[in-house]
Amino acid sequence: MDPRTGMIENRLKGTRVIAVSGGKGGIGKSLASSVMALELSNMGYKVGLLDLDFSSPSDHVILGFDYSKHKPEEDMGLVPPEICGVKFFSLVFYAGENPSPLRGIDVSNAIREILSIVKWGNLDILLIDMPPGIGEATLDSIRLIKNIEFLVLTTPSKVSTDSVKKFVRLLKELKMPVIGVIENMRISESSKDDFDNFLGSIKFDLDLEKALGNPEKLLKTKFSQEFREILKKIF
């Protein structure tokens, strides 16, 4: 019997858990998760951010978080460090710059370990930056986190839209709550008619790259301003 499974519910009791997901890589899930965490913290929520993209964790890069200086503290579990009021946990604390070649069962085990030993404390919202697609991380999160909800990202590209439609269909078949779909990187045409719970669209922001690694600058980007308006519909 795996003792970790039952502990997860305890750890996340009373916390709204939102998985920021999408069917494809490179559509802005990590950026959206990180900015969303900063925005919600500014709105007064107690927020946690968990980077579950083990193969390419990048929230720390987006937030400019020096993981070598700020490690989780050991206190009857692992207490995540904070950045701009957001409690943050990532595999990068232990893997550093090394690549983590994990197969499915390893991903599953690492997720269980993290969810059962990380002590988030009294959070209002835990955001999970999910890896792309319908893999171990998504299926395990659904199985292990009873109250998980999904916020889905897409881009106007047909390649992304087709994948994300399948992803949303799966979530609905599994009776998972889908908060809605947000379109990122819009240049001209929107994919809004492809989704029945479309929350809004964010234009492609050419200046965004310059703000990466600086939370203050990030929050001043057009991306964040447009994202903020969408978040107001949800929170």
Contact set with another protein (CB under 8 A): 1-7, 10, 74-78, 91, 94-96, 98-103, 105-107, 109-110, 113-114, 116-117, 119
Taking the least distance from each CB to another protein, the nearer of 99 and 188 is 99
- Minimum CB separation of residue 46 from another protein in Å reads 21
Question: Phi and psi dihedrals of 66, rounded to 5?
Answer: -85, 95
20-30 burial by CB neighbour count: b if 16+ within 10 A, else e? bbbbbeebbbb
Instruction: Using DSSP bridges, classify how beta strands 47-51 and 125-129 pair: parallel, antiparallel or unpaired.
Output: parallel
Least Å distance, CB 221 to another protein, is 33
- Hey, what are 169's tokens? 């269909």
The least CB distance from residue 85 to another protein, in Å, is: 24
- Site of tokens 């897409």: 154
Q: Which is nearer to another protein, 110 or 182 (CB)?
A: 110
Q: Compare residues 119 and 186 and give the one whose CB is closer to another protein.
A: 119
Between 114 and 153, CB nearer to another protein: 114
Query: Strand ranges (DSSP E) for 5-160?
Result: 16-21, 47-51, 73-74, 78-79, 82-83, 86-90, 125-129, 148-154
Q: How far is the CB of 127 from another protein (least distance, A)?
A: 20
